[in-house]
A and B are shown apart, each in its own frame.
Chain A
Amino acid sequence: MNIEWYIVLSSLLFALGAMGILVRRSPIVILLCLEIMLNAGNLALVAFSRMVGNQQGQVFAIVVMVVAACEVVVGLGLIVAIFRRKLPLDVDSLRELRG
């Protein structure tokens, strides 16, 4: 398969994830959509690394994976803290920090 196919698939996945973030209101689902976007970026990184014939893009993808794991851990910690305080799990009503 040509590299183009992978890149187009990756941009399609990225757009789907962005659309999910715009549509959904539950913070857990928004985190899941963030995962989709990060994975789309990973797919593009690995595809470009194959295109160039250089493994450094794969190392970059692994570091992105680590950052994604950190983001999930902190995000889920925040969700559990929100749930413990009996605040609504709805990103549209949690707008106190909005300027």
Chain B
Amino acid sequence: MEAVLFFAAALGALGGAVGVVVLRNPFYGVLALIVHLFSLAVLFLLLTAAFVAAAQVVVYAGAVMVLYVFVVAYIGGDTEPLGDSIPGQKFLAPLLGAALFVELSIAVLGSSLLALGTHGPNVNPGFGNPAAIGHLLLERFLLAFEASSILLLLAAVGAVVLAGRQGTPEAGQGAAGGSSKHSSEAPAERFEDPPAAPSPAGGGA
């Protein structure tokens, strides 16, 4: 039963990953990644990591993927140009990927970790459930917990600053495009200021 579940989830994870790599429309790519994430959640459950599996489904498949879907819908699919920019890219990249896999397999299977060939030790029923993980997070790893919360806050603020609306339409017309935000914003303000100053003078004269 466990083997059947493992192979079904592994096939789902691999199929999702292949779909992300192969599908041209990024919207279908996002859907394939959702399949991949759900299959990984099943694998986490098989490894008795219940809390990680729940976080995977709720955080990844629930929240992060919704963000992806919104951005893909905003940008629109099929923006990827055809053809190779490096000659032989479509041939070389799978070769390098296969080489990486062989290398990783040699490193793992050739290691002297004897426990790799076992199921792992027998664990008590509470292994990996939310209570155990919560104890670890809030007692032993409290510093990492707080640091990751600060990191999340910084990322949210940074995303708002990056994707915010200020100055983009005018700056895109004023500058030649391709320059950074601050250097393209400053000339736009300088162009606005001088016409504002002479016009009251001209009206007074």
Name A's B-contacting residues (CB within 8 A): 1-9, 11-20, 22-26, 28-29, 31-33, 35-36, 39, 42-43, 46-47, 49-53, 55-56, 58-59, 61-63, 65-74, 76-81, 83-90, 92, 96
Do the beta carbons of B21 and A47 come within 8 Å of each other?
Answer: no
Do the beta carbons of A73 and B20 come within 8 Å of each other?
Answer: no
Of the residues B26, B47, B60, B136, contact of A46 by C-beta under 8 Å: B47
30 contacting pairs across A/B (C-beta < 8 A): A4-B109, A5-B10, A6-B47, A8-B109, A12-B14, A13-B17, A16-B17, A16-B18, A18-B96, A22-B92, A22-B97, A23-B93, A33-B21, A36-B33, A39-B60, A42-B56, A43-B40, A50-B49, A63-B141, A68-B64, A69-B155, A70-B151, A76-B71, A77-B159, A80-B74, A83-B74, A85-B177, A89-B75, A90-B79, A90-B81
Q: How far is B157's CA from A16's CA once the two chains are assembled, in angstroms?
A: 32
Chain A residues in 8 Å Cβ range of B105: 8, 11
Interface size class of B (residues with CB under 8 A): 35 or more
Q: Does B195 contact A (CB under 8 A)?
A: no
Chain A residues in 8 Å Cβ range of B44: 43, 46
Q: How many residue pairs at the A-B interface have CB separations less than 8 Å?
A: 252
> A89 — nearest CB in chain B belongs to which residue?
B79
Do the beta carbons of B101 and A15 come within 8 Å of each other?
Answer: yes
Chain A residues in 8 Å Cβ range of B186: none
CB within 8 Å for A72 and B2 given contacts A3-B118, A46-B52: no
Of the residues B92, B101, B172, contact of A85 by C-beta under 8 Å: B172
Do the beta carbons of A63 and B144 come within 8 Å of each other?
Answer: yes
Do the beta carbons of A66 and B49 come within 8 Å of each other?
Answer: no
Do the beta carbons of B29 and A7 come within 8 Å of each other?
Answer: no
A interface footprint on B47-73 (CB within 8 Å = 1, 0 otherwise): 111011001100110011001100110
Chain B residues in 8 Å Cβ range of A77: 158-163
Q: Which of B173-202 contact A (CB under 8 A)?
A: 177-178
> In the complex, how many angstroms separate the beta carbon of A71 from the nearest chain B beta carbon?
8
Of the residues B36, B63, B127, B162, contact of A74 by C-beta under 8 Å: B162
